[in-house]
Chains A and B, each alone.
Chain A
Amino acid sequence: MSRIKPPILIIDDDEVDRYILKRLLKEAELDFNIFEKQDGQEALEFLENYEANVKNYPDEFPPILIFLDINMPRVNGLQFLEEFVTLRLTIEIESCVVMMFSSSEREEEKEKIMAHDFVKGYLVKGAFDAESLKDKVLAVIDYLIE
């Protein structure tokens, strides 16, 4: 029985932040197949290219969880969420959930973000450790995909 590593997507323009998240996931012993994109634009292009990616990454596409930064050039986190709403109507990605991953927490923004039913959590950069990350992630996804 070969275990397939669940695919996830990290969208953040800051390489350091991506590294920190990856390392914390590793420390939490969450073994994922991780895609990384530098901003919303890149991520949308990646997801829109659905058919090709399904072929290119058999059993690894689409991601089941997206870590999404807010402040990014070109398409920021908020704009990505808007686009993602329409994207969900055209491609088979309903099971994919989003966890925000940002250094700031503006109440009015947060309210708007959490209104999307596919947004399942809000992580503040630097304010969590491997243990709490694990709890949060496992609360929203079914990790044990065969």
Chain B
Amino acid sequence: MNISKKLMIIVILTVVEVSITIFSAFEIAKGARFHQLNFLHLKYINQLTKSVNSIQEDTPIDLDQIELDILAIKQQPIDCLQEINTLNQIVMKIIETYQAVTICETDINVANDILLSLDNHRRGDLDRKRFLVSLNDALHKFNLHSVNFEEPIRKTVEFILLTLIPLVLMISLFNIILISYLSRTISSSIHNLTSLLSSKTGTDVDLDSDLEKNTTSELRALIIAARQRIKGDLLNLENNLELQDIVNAQTSSLQQANDELAQFAYRASHDLKSPLSGAKSLAQFVIKDIEAGNTEEASSNAGVIYQQMEKLENLVVDILLLAKADIGSEDVKAIDFEQLIVDMEERLAWLMKGNPCVLETSILLSRPVVSEKARFTQVIENLVSNSLKYYDKNKKSSYVKCSIFDSSDKLIIEVKDNGIGIPEKHHHEIFDMFKRFHVETTTGSGLGMALVKKHIEYLQGTILFESSTAGTMFKVTLPMDDL
């Protein structure tokens, strides 16, 4: 049974109890009213008796006064009958006090009879003596009825008191017990639910079956609604947390980018300043040398200034390339790798001149590669020039092998050398900016490998390397479909 039904029963029982109590009060009050009417009846009978006793032998009878008295007497049984309803009649019949009703009716009949006699006497149809006899007879009957009326009324009231009051008491008692029981069941089902909810955590399936067994439908509905609400709230919370995570991740990536930028700015400004301040000092020397007439030294230093400026120019170009590597270009077309190699060899002529290192290239492509040529040029040129720079003087023959080919939708660029290799402790720094690991060669900005990595990341490819004292191999893998 659910809680609302239990509450409805409590309400109904209370209404019944109150109704019966009020009904009992009315019935008991009615008993008192009957006694009152009977008392009034006796008073009017007494009044009539006085009128009758005052009749003198020879004087005429005050018929009007007597008629009024009789009508007054007749009124109480009429009132009495009006008070008695059907339910009273049934009860009176059961407890055998119905004679009270009969007495009233008889009393009315007696009154009607004597009123008829009075009319007859007034008209002269009934003589004085016979009228007085019937008047006395009526008086006697009235008195008798009044006396007899008391007993059934007393019995009836007594019955009402004896039955209704215990009934009310019983119903009240029952009501108290039932209400206590129902409220206990209501509070215990709430208590059950509370302990059920506080004991189990995380096991939704068990909770569902326990809810089915241990709770009323309304509480179940309440729990389901609450759960939906909490789920919704949790979902919002989760979303908020996710957003928070995204914000945190973006903040830290921005922080990292910021740190990288600061590092870059420091290194770039350092490397830009270095050749400038060198050239400045050298220019002062040149002035002094010319003044001193030492043209040979002046000329030599002017040459160094030129080299410093060239170094500066290369650095600026590399920094610009690095900045541009993050931005896509519209210059996309099929790349002629043969021509790219030829152009590169021309640019690296200074490095290859007098270099014992042999550059071998092989290009084997099943279909054209359509992309930004500049990126490929920079990747290949940086890898090849590094291999050329760091050849191993102690080896008999030095080589750099550059292979460009495709294999299962991947474009592979492989640059392999038998150079001096990259010391293992520097492997993690290979793609960092401004890093050079060998002192013998001072050319280069230290930005080459950072630039290579940027291009490969832009093209969504990967770069791997293996390096030992036997040599170094870089392998670039790029997805062909995206090219």
Where the two chains meet, the residues of A that have a C-beta atom closer than 8 Å to any C-beta of B are: 13-17, 19-20, 23-24, 38-39, 41-42, 71-74, 103-104, 106, 125-127
24 A-B pairs within 8 Å (CB atoms) are namely: A13-B442, A14-B278, A15-B442, A16-B275, A16-B282, A17-B274, A19-B304, A20-B278, A20-B282, A24-B281, A39-B439, A42-B439, A71-B267, A71-B274, A73-B438, A73-B439, A74-B439, A103-B273, A103-B277, A104-B269, A125-B274, A126-B273, A126-B277, A126-B281
CA distance A142 to B267 in the complex (A): 36
| Closest residue on chain A to residue B440 by CB atoms | A38
Min distance, Cβ A63 to any Cβ of chain B, angstroms: 19
Please report whether the interface of chain A is mostly helix, strand, loop or mixed according to DSSP: loop
| Closest residue on chain B to residue A109 by CB atoms | B266
Min distance, Cβ B330 to any Cβ of chain A, angstroms: 38
Q: Mark B270-291, 1 if CB is under 8 A from A, else 0.
A: 1101111110111001000000
B439 touches A125 (CB 8 A): no
Min distance, Cβ B270 to any Cβ of chain A, angstroms: 5
Name the 7 nearest CB pairs between A and B, nearest first. A126-B277, A38-B439, A73-B436, A16-B278, A20-B281, A104-B270, A103-B274
| Closest residue on chain A to residue B434 by CB atoms | A71
Centre residue among B267, B273, B278, B285 by max chain A CB count within 10 A: B278
B437, CB-defined interface residue at 8 Å? yes
A103 touches B270 (CB 8 A): yes
Q: Mark B424-444, 1 if CB is under 8 A from A, else 0.
A: 000000000011111110100
List, in ascending order, chain A residues with CB within 8 A of B276's CB. Answer: 126
| Closest residue on chain B to residue A106 by CB atoms | B266
Please report whether the interface of chain B is mostly helix, strand, loop or mixed according to DSSP: helix
B277 touches A125 (CB 8 A): yes
Known: A23-B285, A71-B270, A106-B266. A16 touches B439 (CB 8 A): no
Centre residue among A23, A39, A41 by max chain B CB count within 10 A: A23
| Closest residue on chain A to residue B439 by CB atoms | A38
Q: Mark B240-283, 1 if CB is under 8 A from A, else 0.
A: 00000000000000000000000000110111011111101110
Q: Mark B415-458, 1 if CB is under 8 A from A, else 0.
A: 00000000000000000001111111010000000000000000
A126 touches B270 (CB 8 A): no
B308, CB-defined interface residue at 8 Å? yes
Min distance, Cβ A37 to any Cβ of chain B, angstroms: 9
| Closest residue on chain B to residue A69 by CB atoms | B274
Min distance, Cβ B103 to any Cβ of chain A, angstroms: 125
List, in ascending order, chain A residues with CB within 8 A of B269's CB. Answer: 104
List, in ascending order, chain A residues with CB within 8 A of B437's CB. Answer: 73-74
Interface residues of B in 207-226 (CB under 8 A from A): none
List, in ascending order, chain A residues with CB within 8 A of B277's CB. Answer: 103, 125-127
Known: A13-B439, A73-B437. A104 touches B304 (CB 8 A): no
Centre residue among B308, B439, B442 by max chain A CB count within 10 A: B439
List, in ascending order, chain B residues with CB within 8 A of A127's CB. Answer: 277
Known: A13-B442, A19-B304, A106-B266. A126 touches B436 (CB 8 A): no
Min distance, Cβ B282 to any Cβ of chain A, angstroms: 7
CA distance A74 to B446 in the complex (A): 12
CA distance A42 to B308 in the complex (A): 24
Min distance, Cβ B418 to any Cβ of chain A, angstroms: 22
CA distance A105 to B118 in the complex (A): 147
List, in ascending order, chain A residues with CB within 8 A of B435's CB. Answer: 73
CA distance A126 to B275 in the complex (A): 10
A126 touches B278 (CB 8 A): yes
CA distance A15 to B308 in the complex (A): 11
Interface residues of B in 41-78 (CB under 8 A from A): none
| Closest residue on chain A to residue B435 by CB atoms | A73
Min distance, Cβ A38 to any Cβ of chain B, angstroms: 4
